[in-house]
Chains A and B, each alone.
Chain A
């Protein structure tokens, strides 16, 4: 897929500009990571607080490069069968039942066990062939003719064992299926792994990936993001809104509002036809930004002060 799109990934700046046209405002760092991932054919490990657009980055990359996005959500207990491939047991069973008579024909006239088994061997591994293989996201990504964007979401939620299993895929873009053999990627996919840091990832995994940390955007960048996502919002309101959120992020809260929450809030204010942020409006819509009652209770008495800071 690299050759097909070599003009699209000519420089980090180009990627940044093109993403902007697609409605994804990104920092130079992010563009650089995507550029390097494409050019060096390395997976990217994306870390950052929830809601800063980690998953969105993969979606936009897929959209931009015109490749298919294959997403795999990780969770505790995820294993090879769900991630890589599975045999279609039902189909195998059904076929053995249907083919019973045929088998009888084949076996007819065979003398002794040895000969019967010998005849069966002539047919090869019928029931363990590609037709009975149910490809799961990882295998799909490897088989995609034009290459794909493989998004391995929240890798930190999976088990240690699964992380180790991913190593072969990430470094050589191949997987091994005992019954069939090693399957190599037809066209190397671009792999993006996201992590919320619920646990420390292994060094071996980190070593194989480029590392990208997406922090909360600075107010200027966030204003751009809001401007693109909610274009109908007035300039002044947008300014106030972004300032208010960035003030909130300075407080010690259980969960600080992320970009996605800012966007939700902006949409809500638009819907409510609010023209300027005042104390009452903020108070009534605070639950869009803060997701814990404790946080809301902590912020409410500070509102006047926060609004003053916001206006400054």
Chain B
């Protein structure tokens, strides 16, 4: 039982469920109480101890079904036999009986161990043998699907398939054995199918996560502008995951309390009931202010893809960054905060990109628009994030506006999707703006985004 449960928990972890050792122990204890006979009871009991939230429950339920379906081949043939037997009349049963006997007599004459095993119909022993052979063949180390046939073959080999084949050849020479041979062949096919299923299961349980993990790792590092449509969905999921991680990291500890100064006024008020004796001390606590964020995104051709992910990321951080105002520009700048409020994230972003992207960039114009729209709302708690490559098509950059923004705000971050070496090359006027930025960062991958936004949240404390 321990082994089965251990394997199962291993599979759960592979699928991304965080199961701790103490939960494993709980599950073992629960399984001991319930027993392994009733799968429905067992599922319910294990679910209580291993899956601790609703999405995890669903995941658990699916995996449980998958994993223990694997055990079914052991039980199913027995059940089938019993089912088949029960409706039979006694007469039919007696006809069956001698046949089985004759089989047994023949079976004893068989040489190869696999053939004996097959004829004896001992499914449990067979299943054990398959599991044993599978671990030797490295079934749990499979990473890609092309490995499946090879592993299947290896398992069949170590079960003694070649010996069986040889014996079948010899038996086939004799006509008397015809019935036995066909029977054995059928059983061999059934066994092959069983092994194939087993390998399939193992592949599902153990390799899936490795594959996605590899891909996810790669996607973290890839340039956002290089991500194509096929990876977009996976990327969306990754962005949301990263955002959730950041959010849960920073949603804690809103108060930095009980440190620093004694709040005399509150202390006296709280102790009035005790005749002025100061039993309770009250401390001045400071509330962490969530930063007000304004984000300006260049959505012209080259930057638009990165902008898409930045916006997606920012709005997935709603829990910890509730006050985000967003502006997009190519030549004209417009506020798109309301677009996000009305529609869901993805359609809003797609709509914005379709309507505004693909226009020549004009930073001067955009900054002027920004000045009119939002300059008044910038105060010393506002963080400004600008995403753009500062390629201004040789126009006037109006950096004095940016200077004003810098002076009014708490912090100005400039994220540039281009590498540092190409700043100020060609029509890029990065050096005009960079004096008026608290930080200038190169930002091209999801990893960069996570790092920068993480530090933004940290500094807000």
Contact = CB atoms under 8 A, between A and B. Distances in A.
Interface of A: 12, 28-29, 32-33, 35-36, 39-40, 42, 44-45, 47, 89-90, 93, 160, 199-200, 203, 206-213
Interface stretch (B21-29, B197-205, B408-416): B21-29
A39 B20 CA distance: 20
A213 B54 contact: yes
B343 to A, nearest CB: 16
B141 to A, nearest CB: 29
Interface size class on chain B is 20 to 34
Given A40-B33, A207-B52, 18 more contacts: A28-B44, A32-B44, A32-B45, A32-B48, A33-B48, A36-B45, A40-B26, A42-B26, A93-B277, A200-B248, A203-B18, A203-B52, A207-B20, A209-B52, A210-B48, A211-B51, A212-B48, A213-B54
Residue from B44, B49, B248, B252 having most chain A Cβ neighbours under 10 A: B44
B63 to A, nearest CB: 16
B172 interface: no
The SS class assigned to the B binding surface is helix
Contacts of B53: 47, 206, 211
A209 B47 CA distance: 12
Contacts of B54: 47, 213
A222 B29 CA distance: 32
10 contacts: A36-B33, A36-B45, A40-B29, A93-B274, A93-B275, A160-B253, A199-B251, A208-B22, A211-B48, A211-B57
B30 interface: yes
Contacts of B45: 32, 36
Contacts of A199: 251
B49 A36 contact: yes
Contacts of A93: 274-275, 277
A89 B279 contact: yes
B33 A89 contact: no
Nearest to A159: B255
B41 interface: yes
A90 B274 contact: yes
A39 B248 contact: no
A44 B47 CA distance: 12
B279 A210 contact: no
Contacts of A208: 22
Interface of B: 18, 20, 22-23, 26, 29-30, 33, 40-41, 44-45, 47-49, 51-54, 57, 248, 251-253, 274-275, 277, 279
Contacts of B279: 89
Contacts of B44: 28-29, 32
A71 B22 CA distance: 27
A199 B41 CA distance: 30
Contacts of A28: 40-41, 44
Contacts of B51: 211
B175 to A, nearest CB: 58
Contacts of B47: 29, 211
B281 to A, nearest CB: 13
Contacts of A207: 20, 22-23, 52
A123 to B, nearest CB: 21
Contacts of A45: 52
A27 B446 CA distance: 45
A260 to B, nearest CB: 21
A35 B44 CA distance: 11
Contacts of A35: 33
Given A200-B248, A210-B49, A211-B53, A36 B274 contact: no
Nearest to A210: B48
A35 to B, nearest CB: 8
Contacts of B41: 12, 28, 32
A211 B26 contact: no
Contact of B52 (A12, A29, A89, A206): A206
Nearest to B253: A160
Given A36-B49, A203-B18, A213 B26 contact: no
A40 B57 CA distance: 20
B65 to A, nearest CB: 16
B241 to A, nearest CB: 14
A35 B30 CA distance: 10
Contacts of B248: 200
A47 B45 CA distance: 16
Nearest to B30: A36
Contacts of B253: 160
B23 A36 contact: no
A45 B40 CA distance: 21
Nearest to B19: A207
Contacts of A36: 30, 33, 45, 48-49
Nearest to A97: B275
Nearest to B21: A207
Residue from A12, A32, A160 having most chain B Cβ neighbours under 10 A: A32
A213 B57 contact: yes
Contacts of B252: 160
Nearest to B29: A40
8 smallest CB-CB distances across A and B, nearest first, come from A206-B52, A211-B52, A210-B48, A32-B44, A207-B20, A89-B279, A33-B48, A39-B33
Nearest to A37: B48
Contacts of B57: 211, 213
B322 to A, nearest CB: 14
A158 to B, nearest CB: 13
Nearest to A199: B251
Nearest to B25: A40
A178 to B, nearest CB: 15
A46 to B, nearest CB: 11
Contacts of A203: 18, 52
Contacts of B274: 89-90, 93
A119 B30 CA distance: 57
A55 B231 CA distance: 46
A29 B54 CA distance: 14
B254 to A, nearest CB: 8
A116 to B, nearest CB: 21
A45 B49 CA distance: 11
A12 B48 CA distance: 13
A206 B274 CA distance: 40
B135 to A, nearest CB: 30
Residue from A12, A29, A42, A210 having most chain B Cβ neighbours under 10 A: A210
Contacts of A213: 54, 57
Contacts of B30: 36, 40
A114 B61 CA distance: 71
A228 B54 CA distance: 29
